[in-house]
């Protein structure tokens, strides 16, 4: 754990390399486990103002061993930041893969996918980069292609995948305008070409990522903003399907091939998004920061509460060490029925509710709470005093993102798609739970779970039955500069992470714990 840009993902890669090197068998499987990283980073990482290679999803890696040899691995991914596909703030970029494609595809391939100059695309904000950066992206694109081959993607699957990504970019340029004759809305004349490019068609595959309603009739009976929302929903769902597909293929490749009766040992590594505080913080930042609050509570529980309880049980002379307990913040966010997420779910269930009614509800419910502050002036938002500091959240879009709904016509589009990748693995007609409902609070640790993913209860049981080790990553400076240690930036993190108290309990406590048998024998 640690702030965004503190080095969590790099530390995870180093830890994996170290474990593989200790195995000393150099099997093909061990190399494959290391080689899937470029693929995950290309599709799941992006440049933010805090980090040039920021993980925009959480991952849990399970390594399974038999006689000190890796027999298999499994990857679970949590809460991919799909909203980044359609919107990025100043100084930020979309997911890496879009830029790698522009730099790495040949002119013939770009023509096949209908890709034009990158500066024309709204979803990547017209930002590309210098020639030096483009060369770096070109090398990265080759790495991605090699990783796709290694993971086992067929050539046609790779073509389909890139056709979807190109279609997503073209779809972002589709705009809408009023139909003068009947007062409805239609695709603007200026973006008809983008609409055709979004429905990519070539000799080997045919892909449609546009709403059937838009194709059947020149007019759409809804306002322009609703059409734009539906367009963005299609883009986000399509990208999420591609990412989920990649993870499934990786798990197929890395699955263990052993007798199911054989008991395997396991090491699990949880690499989750870091604490974030941007100029503008949205629903995604609240989810990310809530996860970090939970990890901090999990840390406190193991390092301070369980440790000192053991000393007390043994009757040891011990002066209690106090620590910054963040439980009141978690209660503010997660309590039922009056925690922030419960109120968000409640408001999301009301068709007439708006982001403003949600904020009004928060202001009245948390008046006087020392960890909550109302926004000043006419700003639609609120502030939370997190364990790592105060963060102001812009409330616009909270209800829509929590509902995470996809229009029925768009669902039909994916179900009827000619590209197998876009057809959902399981088609359910029950209403989807909201994102807030998908967060489970269990004795201090939060894990995000999307439908049809790794069983949450199995994951939680494993984490609580295991022996946890905490790797605390410290960000050396706020300028993303190598070799620069800013004492104040480091000290602030040591304080809010509780690491100064941790050093004290490790120094004054009892670090060597032999069993009675070991002690008696010695």
Annotated binding site for ATP: 2-9
Which of the following is catalytic: 30, 41, 77, 276?
Answer: 276
Return the closest-CA partner of residue 285 out of 381, 169, 371.
Answer: 381
What's the distance, Cα to Cα, between the start and end of the chain in Å?
Answer: 38
Which of the following is catalytic: 1, 9, 48, 417?
Answer: 9
Cα separation, 465 vs 152, in Å, equals 34
Q: Which residues line the annotated binding site?
A: 2-9
Is 302 within 8 Å of 463 (Cβ atoms)?
A: no
Q: Residue length, the chain?
A: 522
> Which strand (E) or helix (H) includes residue 77?
strand 69-78
Q: Note if 21 is an active site residue.
A: no
Q: Note if 357 is an active site residue.
A: no
Return the closest-CA partner of residue 326 out of 504, 498, 502.
Answer: 498
Which of the following is catalytic: 4, 48, 402, 417?
Answer: 4
Q: Note if 55 is an active site residue.
A: yes
Q: Note if 51 is an active site residue.
A: yes
Which of the following is catalytic: 12, 45, 48, 55?
Answer: 55
Which of the following is catalytic: 48, 51, 191, 434?
Answer: 51
Cα separation, 1 vs 9, in Å, equals 10
Q: Say what the alpha-carbon torsion angle 337, 339, 345, 346 is, to the nearest 10 degrees.
A: 50
Query: The tokens of 318 are what?
Result: 């011990």
Q: Note if 444 is an active site residue.
A: no
Phi, psi angles (nearest 5°) of residue 376: -85, 150
Return the closest-CA partner of residue 214 out of 409, 407, 405, 406.
Answer: 409
Which of the following is catalytic: 167, 244, 274, 498?
Answer: 274
Which of the following is catalytic: 45, 54, 417, 419?
Answer: 54
Q: Say what the alpha-carbon torsion angle 308, 312, 315, 317 is, to the nearest 10 degrees.
A: 50
* Angle made by CA atoms 17, 22, 28, in degrees to the nearest 5: 65
Is 78 within 8 Å of 59 (Cβ atoms)?
A: yes
Question: What are the residue ranges of helices labelled H in 366-435?
Answer: 398-403, 408-415
Cα separation, 356 vs 208, in Å, equals 37
In sequence order, which residues have a C-beta less than 8 Å from that of residue 26 and are 6 or more positions away?
none
Q: Note if 274 is an active site residue.
A: yes
Question: For 176-229, what is the HEC assignment?
Answer: EEECCCCCCEEECHHHHHHHHHHCCECCCCECCCCCHHHHHCCEECCCHHHHHH
Q: Note if 5 is an active site residue.
A: yes
What amino acid positions are annotated as catalytic residues? Answer: 4-5, 9, 51, 54-55, 274, 276
């Amino acid at each position: 754990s640690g702030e965004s840009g503190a080095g969590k993902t790099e530390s995870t890669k180093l830890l994996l390399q170290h474990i593989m090197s200790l195995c000393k068998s150099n099997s093909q499987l061990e190399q494959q486990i290391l080689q899937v990283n470029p693929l995950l980073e290309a599709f799941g990482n992006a440049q933010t103002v805090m980090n040039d290679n920021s993980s925009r999803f959480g991952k849990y890696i399970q390594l399974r061993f038999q006689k000190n040899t890796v027999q298999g691995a499994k990857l679970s991914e949590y809460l991919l930041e799909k909203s980044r596909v359609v919107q990025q703030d100043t100084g930020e970029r979309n997911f890496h893969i879009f830029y790698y494609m522009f730099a790495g595809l040949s002119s013939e391939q770009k023509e096949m996918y209908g890709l034009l100059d990158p500066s024309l695309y709204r979803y990547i904000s017209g930002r590309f980069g210098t020639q030096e950066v483009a060369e770096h992206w070109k090398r990265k694109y080759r790495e991605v292609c090699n990783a796709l081959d290694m993971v086992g993607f067929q050539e046609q699957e790779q073509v389909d995948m890139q056709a979807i990504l190109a279609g997503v970019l073209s779809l972002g340029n589709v705009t809408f305008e009023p139909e003068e004759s009947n007062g409805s809305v239609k695709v603007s004349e200026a973006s008809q070409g983008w609409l055709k490019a979004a429905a990519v068609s070539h000799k080997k595959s045919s892909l449609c990522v546009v709403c059937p309603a838009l194709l059947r009739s020149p007019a759409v009976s809804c306002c322009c903003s609703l059409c734009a929302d539906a367009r963005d929903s299609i883009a986000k769902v399509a990208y999420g399907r591609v990412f989920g597909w990649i993870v499934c293929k990786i798990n197929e490749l890395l699955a263990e091939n052993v007798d199911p009766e054989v008991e395997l040992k396991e090491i699990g590594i949880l690499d989750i998004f870091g604490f974030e505080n941007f100029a503008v913080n949205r629903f995604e930042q609240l989810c990310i920061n809530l996860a970090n609050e939970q990890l901090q509570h999990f840390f406190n529980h193991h390092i301070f509460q369980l440790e000192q309880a053991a000393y007390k049980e043994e009757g040891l002379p011990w002066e209690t060490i106090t620590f910054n307990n963040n439980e009141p913040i978690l209660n503010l966010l997660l309590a039922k029925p009056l925690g922030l997420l419960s109120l968000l779910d409640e408001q999301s269930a009301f068709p007439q509710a708006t982001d403003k009614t949600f904020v009004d509800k928060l202001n009245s419910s948390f008046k006087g709470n020392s960890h909550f502050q109302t926004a000043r002036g006419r700003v639609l938002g609120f502030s939370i005093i997190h364990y790592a500091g105060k963060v102001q959240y812009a409330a616009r879009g909270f209800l829509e993102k929590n509902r995470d709904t996809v229009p029925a016509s768009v669902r039909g589009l994916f179900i009827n798609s000619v590209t197998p990748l876009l057809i959902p693995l399981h088609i359910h007609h029950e209403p989807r739970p909201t994102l807030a409902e998908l967060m489970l609070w269990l004795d201090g640790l939060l894990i995000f779970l999307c439908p049809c993913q790794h069983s949450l209860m199995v994951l939680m049981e494993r984490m609580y039955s295991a022996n946890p080790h905490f790797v605390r990553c410290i960000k050396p400076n706020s300028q993303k500069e190598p070799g620069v240690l800013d004492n104040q930036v480091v000290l602030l993190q040591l304080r809010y992470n509780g690491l100064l108290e941790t050093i004290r309990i490790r120094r004054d406590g009892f670090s060597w714990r032999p069993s009675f048998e070991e002690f008696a024998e010695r």
